[in-house]
């Protein structure tokens, strides 16, 4: 309750400042969030905003911590199970969820033994179709992604801005490798079901691109999509992210404390464009245990919720979400007994 009141109170001053901030930035000035004032760009300020997309905005739906820590955590972890046992994660926690198909495809043009994985599932109780993406694994996949980033940067996404090509390519390998067909089939079989999309790390980046792609292709409407991703990297530019915010009201990306991956350098020098996460960021500056506090970030961009974006970043905080080692837990089939999977 205390937390709810805090969140509630913190939203109101910012509704006013959102308009003020956008007006300020669009007129070529800087909006200073520490003083809530509009200042000339040459005046210094601790937390300046120079891009209108970054201006504070309350999310269009309320963030639900329980939903993220129970459902979306399992959805992201299930993608880590070996392709034959994706179902185990659901059987252990949500037995009404049935995995429809798991797709694992070769997703590197340059290195051997690099695969991407995604699966589709459905749940008659919740009346939803589920789409989950796996994070990267192995040195060759990391090399594939980073070399593609350096060589190719970002590419246009229809007429709605740009996305980082490496992540778009990974997604397309899966989309063409069966996911499109499986999703269309499920949408045909269950025409009234909504769609939940999730993933962790690379899986979260692909999930974000997928949500936009699915809206573009008209398989689901943005209002019927729930997107919650964990520890993903910034892979979409301002134009995409604004469009995405308009299309998909239920969209959150969750960051654990000092997770290094969401804070990777978001600049694409080939095209002189900065990448962002799609709104809205939720930051847990703790172990993410049940009842732990979190901040729903009203600003977009790396330097607001987490005030020193480059300080003390760790891989540990990337792998642990909701106080569970996500890759190991997923690989083990998401056992109910959490002994050995907690951070400390
Ligand atoms: C939050 O999510 C949980 C678990 O899915 C659900 O039971 C609960 O009704 C949700 N709360 C709200 C306010 O939507
Ligand atoms: C994956 O694709 C690359 C490039 O096309 C090829 O070199 C590699 O052998 C393929 N790997 C598998 C397992 O098919
Ligand atoms: C292929 O990659 C997987 C995942 O990284 C790894 O477990 C496996 O040992 C690799 N196999 C070969 C032949 O390199
Ligand atoms: C860059 O993009 C091209 C065209 O899609 C692709 O063939 C190539 O493999 C990419 N480069 C790297 C290093 O991934
Ligand atoms: C890069 O983009 C920034 C901001 O949009 C602009 O001010 C700058 O002139 C651009 N630089 C180049 C080399 O195009
Ligand atoms: C980083 O960690 C050091 C040592 O634990 C601590 O003193 C410092 O305050 C931390 N910095 C931030 C920005 O959290
Ligand atoms: C959970 O797992 C640990 C280690 O594998 C084991 O020692 C413990 O007895 C298990 N707890 C329960 C309640 O099964």
Give, using CA atoms, the residue closest to atom 12 of ligand 3: 113
Task: Tell me which residue has tokens 């003020």.
Answer: 20
Same domain, 93 and 17: no
Please answer whether residues 63 and 44 qualify as being in contact, where contact means their C-beta atoms are separated by less than 8 angstroms: no
Q: Is 191 contained in some domain? A: yes
Mean pLDDT of 291-314: 89
Mark out the alpha helices in the chain (DSSP H runs): 2-26, 65-67, 73-78, 86-93, 139-152, 165-174, 180-189, 202-217, 238-247, 316-319, 326-331
Band of pLDDT at residue 13, cut at 50, 70 and 90: very low
Residues 198, 118 share a domain: yes
| 336 in a structural domain | no
CA distance 196 to 207: 10
Q: What percent of the chain has pLDDT over 70?
A: 94
CA 24 to ligand 5 center in whole angstroms: 20
Choose which residue among 138, 143, 327 to substitute to test ligand 3 binding: the one with the highest number of ligand atoms within 8 A of its C-beta: 138
Same domain, 305 and 253: yes
Q: Does a structural domain hold residue 278?
A: yes
Residue 70 CA: which ligand is closest? 1
Are both 172 and 40 inside the same structural domain? no
Are residues 161 and 180 both part of a single domain?
Answer: yes
Q: Is residue 343 part of a domain?
A: no
Burial class (CB in 10 A: 0-12, 13-18, 19+), 4: exposed
Query: Has residue 15 got a pLDDT over 90?
Result: no
Residues with Cβ within 6 A of ligand 1?
64, 66-67, 70-71
Tell me if 173 CB under 6 Å of ligand 2.
no
In a mutational test of the pocket of ligand 2, which residue from 104, 106, 107, 173 has the highest number of ligand atoms less than 8 Å from its CB? 106
CATH of the domain at 192: 3.40.50.1820
Domain presence at residue 224 = yes
Mark whether 94 and 113 lie in a shared domain: yes
Instruction: Indicate if the pLDDT at residue 250 is higher than 60.
Output: yes
Structure confidence by residue, pLDDT tens digits, 330-340: 999 999 999 99
Regarding whether 81 and 121 lie in a shared domain, the answer is yes
If you average pLDDT over residues 203-212, what whole number do you get?
98
Which two structure tokens, joined as six digits, stand for 132?
Answer: 């989950």
- Residue 306: pLDDT band (50, 70, 90) is confident
Number of domain units in the chain:
2
Ligand with smallest separation from the Cα of 75 = 1
Over residues 76-129, the pLDDT tens digits come to 999 998 767 899 999 999 999 999 999 999 999 999 999 999 999 999 999 999
Q: What is the mean pLDDT of residues 246-263?
A: 97
Closest ligand, as measured to the CA of 50: 5
How far apart, in Å, are the Cα atoms of 280 and each of 32, 113, 125, 252?
Answer: 20, 35, 28, 5
Q: What is the pLDDT of residue 119?
A: 98
Ligand 6 neighbour 308 (Cβ under 6 A): yes
**Torsion angle of C-alpha atoms 331, 332, 338, 342, degrees rounded to 10:** -30
DSSP notation for 75-100: HHHHTTS-GGGHHHHHHHH-TTEEEE
- CB-based contact 232:201 (threshold 8 Å): yes
> Measured from the CA of 109, which atom of ligand 2 is nearest?
4
* 22: containing domain: 2-50
Token readout for 124 is: 């008659």
Question: Do 228 and 113 belong together in one domain?
Answer: yes
- Between CA 192 and CA 257 the distance in angstroms is 37
Same domain, 249 and 172: yes
Instruction: Please choose, from the candidates 32, 31, 70, 75, the residue with its C-alpha nearest in 3D space to the C-alpha of residue 52.
Output: 31
What are the pLDDT digits (tens) for 131-144? 999 999 999 999 99
Asked if 129 contacts 196 with a C-beta cutoff of 8 angstroms, the reply is yes
| Structural domain includes residue 270 | yes
Q: How confident is the model at residue 218 (pLDDT cuts 50, 70, 90)?
A: very high
Query: What is the pLDDT at residue 329?
Result: 96
Same domain, 266 and 158: yes
My answer on whether 19 and 93 are in the same domain is no
Quick check: is 342 in a domain? Answer: no
Model confidence, pTM = 0.92
Q: Does residue 117 form part of some domain?
A: yes
The answer to whether residue 6 scores a pLDDT higher than 80 is: no
Is the pLDDT at 38 greater than 60? The verdict is yes
In terms of pLDDT, which residue wins out, 323 or 34?
323
Domain check: are 39 and 123 in the same one? no
Predicted pLDDT of residue 18:
61
């Amino acid at each position: 309750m205390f937390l709810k009141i805090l969140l509630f109170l913190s939203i109101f001053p910012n509704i006013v400042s959102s308009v003020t901030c956008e007006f300020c930035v669009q007129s070529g000035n800087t909006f200073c969030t520490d003083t809530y004032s509009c200042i000339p760009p040459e005046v210094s300020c601790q937390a300046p905003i120079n891009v209108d997309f970054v201006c504070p905005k309350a999310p269009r739906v309320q963030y639900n911590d329980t939903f993220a820590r129970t459902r979306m955590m399992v959805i992201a972890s299930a993608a880590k199970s070996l392709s034959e046992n994706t179902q185990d994660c659901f059987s252990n926690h949500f037995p009404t969820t049935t995995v429809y198909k798991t797709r694992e495809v070769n997703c590197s043009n340059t290195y051997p033994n690099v695969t991407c994985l995604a699966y589709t599932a459905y749940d008659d109780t919740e009346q939803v179709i589920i789409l989950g993406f796996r994070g990267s694994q192995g040195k060759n996949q990391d090399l594939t992604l980073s070399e593609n980033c350096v060589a190719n940067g970002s590419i246009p996404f229809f007429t709605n801005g740009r996305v980082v090509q490496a992540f778009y390519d990974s997604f397309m390998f899966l989309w063409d490798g069966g996911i499109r067909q499986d999703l269309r089939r499920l949408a045909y079989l269950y025409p009234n079901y909504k769609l939940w999309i999730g993933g962790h790390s690379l899986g979260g980046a692909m999930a974000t691109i997928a949500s936009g792609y699915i809206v573009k292709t008209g398989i689901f409407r943005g209002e019927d999509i729930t997107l919650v991703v964990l520890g993903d990297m910034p892979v979409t530019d301002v134009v995409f992210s604004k469009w995405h915010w308009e299309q998909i009201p239920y969209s959150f990306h969750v960051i654990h404390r000092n997770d290094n991956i969401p804070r990777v350098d978001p600049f694409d020098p080939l095209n002189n464009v900065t990448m962002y996460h799609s709104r809205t960021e939720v930051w847990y500056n703790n172990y993410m245990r049940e009842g732990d506090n979190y901040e729903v970030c009203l600003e977009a961009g790396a330097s607001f919720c987490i005030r020193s974006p480059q300080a003390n970043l760790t891989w540990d905080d990337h792998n642990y979400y909701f106080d569970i080692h996500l890759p190991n837990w997923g690989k083990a089939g998401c056992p109910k007994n959490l002994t050995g999977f907690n951070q400390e």
